[in-house]
A and B are shown apart, each in its own frame.
Chain A
């Protein structure tokens, strides 16, 4: 089942702009330190990696990558900068425990 994601970029940017990509994904980020209702420690369930590649049609380039640890809040929110070099597609990937993997793509519109 796909987790809900929220991704925001400016609707239209210009070449040479530095935009901020804001991302959030619904995920409990269970730390593995927290006791549940029955007093037993809940098993760890984390998103461990996030990456963003920029595909401008000719080539794909990794533009941002992050490694996440238990100290990230639930529903991990991350914003990162991006230099706009031309229109293209952003591919955002989250990977984590229990085989969690999710990919979202969005179009970067350039005036």
Chain B
């Protein structure tokens, strides 16, 4: 093993002098906190293809951030089956309810994941499923209300094992 060490470093001095396990761990925790803070990103920088898919769903209505909650693990080990839950803050009465709910992705081969139609007979706006994620990307959940307004939530997801699209980048 000593042959692998840089010449001059003594074998019992640890890998990098001045960088203890303790400081490394602290740095890791700090980076994690940063990741949590930047998680819910604004919908400002969505690629045009994704914008087009969302516009096809909303019918061109302006989409505002809020009211929608998108529950998905921040770090996904297996992109083949990722549990997601989309819920919307809505009373679900005949006068005010969610008409449709859709989930979009940024970097799978196709932008749509699913669209669901709800109504006052739903009683609550909450749909769960399991989806495929090809790579680390953004997920966007959009809800269309009875009054025509559209609300969305964008979440960043890190995927370590991609769903099966070998050969694509």
Chain A contacts to B: CB under 8 angstroms: 18, 20, 31, 33-35, 54, 61, 63-74, 76-85
Contact = CB atoms under 8 A, between A and B. Distances in A.
A73 B110 contact: no
B128 A70 contact: no
Contacts of A35: 166-167
Interface stretch (B21-29, B66-74, B116-124, B144-152): B116-124
Interface stretch (B10-18, B43-51, B129-137): B129-137
Contacts of B129: 72-73, 76-79
B123 A82 contact: yes
Interface of B: 80-82, 92, 105, 108-110, 112-133, 164-168
Nearest to A81: B124
A31 B112 CA distance: 13
Nearest to B104: A71
Contact of A64 (B81, B116, B165): B116
5 A-B pairs with least C-beta separation? A83-B123, A18-B123, A73-B81, A73-B130, A81-B124
20 contacts: A33-B109, A33-B168, A54-B121, A63-B122, A64-B118, A66-B127, A67-B112, A69-B112, A70-B132, A71-B105, A72-B113, A72-B129, A73-B81, A74-B81, A78-B127, A78-B128, A79-B127, A81-B123, A82-B121, A83-B92
B130 A81 contact: no
A27 to B, nearest CB: 12
Contacts of B113: 69, 71-72
Contact of A33 (B82, B92, B119, B165): B165
A61 B120 CA distance: 12
Nearest to B81: A73
A72 B117 contact: no
A77 B129 CA distance: 5
A67 B115 contact: yes
Most buried by A among B108, B113, B114: B114
A69 B133 CA distance: 12
B80 A73 contact: yes
A44 to B, nearest CB: 11
Most buried by B among A33, A65, A78, A84: A33
Contacts of A61: 121
Contacts of B108: 70-71
A73 B129 CA distance: 8
Contacts of A83: 92, 120-124
Given A66-B116, A72-B132, A85 B121 contact: yes
